[in-house]
Amino acid sequence: MTREVYDKLAGALNTRSTVYPSIPCDEFYVLAEELFTPAQAEIASDMPVSPVSTEELAAKMKASDAAKLGRQLDEMADRGLVRVKEKAGKRLYELMPLVPGIIELQFMHGRADERTRRLAQLFKSYGKAVKNMPPPAPMPAVTEKPKARTIVIKQEIHGKTTVLPHEEVMKLIDKTEYIAAGTCVCRHQGDLLDRPCDKPKDNLCMIFGPSAQFAQSYGFVNLISREEARQRINEAEKAGLVHNYANSQDRYIDLLCNCCGCHCFLLRAAKRSPLPSQFVIANWVIDIDDDACVGCGACIDRCWMEALKMDGDLAVRDINRCIGCGICRYVCPSDAMKLIRRETASAK
């Protein structure tokens, strides 16, 4: 019976996002049991995709004690499993995806206690198990029927993150009212597993918008100013970190990670792919001015995707491997490297 509950949970998590799919296997069950009690997994599996009140969920689950259900939902929020939002004076809950969402909130606080270390190991074991597994089948569009109306939710199954260059991240910061930041998830996991990274990690995972308010109010992260966010992004750019944005239009968590290719599971998977530019959403690509290139080769080691190489005295780019992060520009002494929209790029 317990595994059936967690099988249902996997389906519910995949309905929210498949950036990192939930695939039932021994390693998934152990991870899921650490995160969710069986009762919480049952509640999560019954939650609709849209935010729901305690009373609405109690009616759906035919639960006789709505107050008890509310306490259980609040405990799930404390554990970083569901997000809480207020709308028209009503308290609403929504189940977050495994990634981006639940896993990040287990590590962004930066703690190194026994449970966090255990979660790091369990997530590593699960990652190894699913590496060669086929992804779950796409979930069908969700139709919900609250009260007497039928609402069709146009739902995207998010399977990719967007790589943003420095300028686009700054635009995002400028238009965002609330920004919260915490410890880099992947590099913190590396520390916990005795595989440290020399790249900075403090306040380099960022959450935007109302999601930032929720995460801060439950103690997972701290709110920061736009100016501090810009400073952190500049620090990331200097360190050669890729800006990965998981944008769900304020569904669940809008998360900006500043990633290294040695610890980020998404970048590592992209690098293994024969076409990294198709593994992520890469709207930009590097264009090299041959006349300006001085052939120093400083950009070569900077590229996590191995998209650059020397051809004689000039640096050349593989358009299929370039993900448009632009971190190579930082070390170019002659300003020979520009970012252009991918659809306008030549194949050279």
Residues 257-294 as b/e (b if ≥16 CB within 10 A, e otherwise) read bbbbbbbbbbbbebbeeeebbebbbbbbbbbbeeeebe
CATH of residue 306's domain is: 3.30.70.20
Taking only the tens place, the pLDDT of each residue in 45-67 is: 999 999 999 999 999 998 879 99
The reply to whether 24 falls in a domain is: yes
Among 269, 297, 313, the domain boundary falls at 269
The reply to whether 97 falls in a domain is: yes
Among 209, 241, 269, the domain boundary falls at 269
Give the integer Cα–Cα distance in Å for 97 and 15.
Answer: 8
Residues 260, 285, single domain; the answer is: no
Taking only the tens place, the pLDDT of each residue in 300-340 is: 999 999 999 999 999 999 999 999 999 999 999 999 999 99
Residues 127, 169, single domain; the answer is: no
Residues 229, 310, single domain; the answer is: no
**Could you tell me where the DSSP H helices lie in 131-255?**
166-174, 185-192, 210-217, 226-239
Confidence of residue 27 (pLDDT cuts 50, 70, 90): very high
What's the token pair of residue 56? Answer: 């609405």
Taking only the tens place, the pLDDT of each residue in 89-115 is: 899 999 999 998 999 999 999 999 999
pTM of the model: 0.87
What's the token pair of residue 244? Answer: 């990965």
The reply to whether 147 falls in a domain is: no
Domains contained in the chain, number: 3
Q: What is the mean pLDDT of residues 201-218?
A: 94
Confidence of residue 166 (pLDDT cuts 50, 70, 90): very high
Among 269, 291, 321, the domain boundary falls at 269
The reply to whether 137 falls in a domain is: no
The pLDDT assigned to 140 comes to: 47
The reply to whether 80 falls in a domain is: yes
Q: What is the mean pLDDT of residues 2-22?
A: 92
Range of the domain at 299: 279-344
* Cα angle 145-52-206, degrees, rounded to a multiple of 5: 125
The reply to whether 139 falls in a domain is: no
Residue type for 294, please?
Answer: V
In this predicted model, which residue has the larger pLDDT, 140 or 325?
325
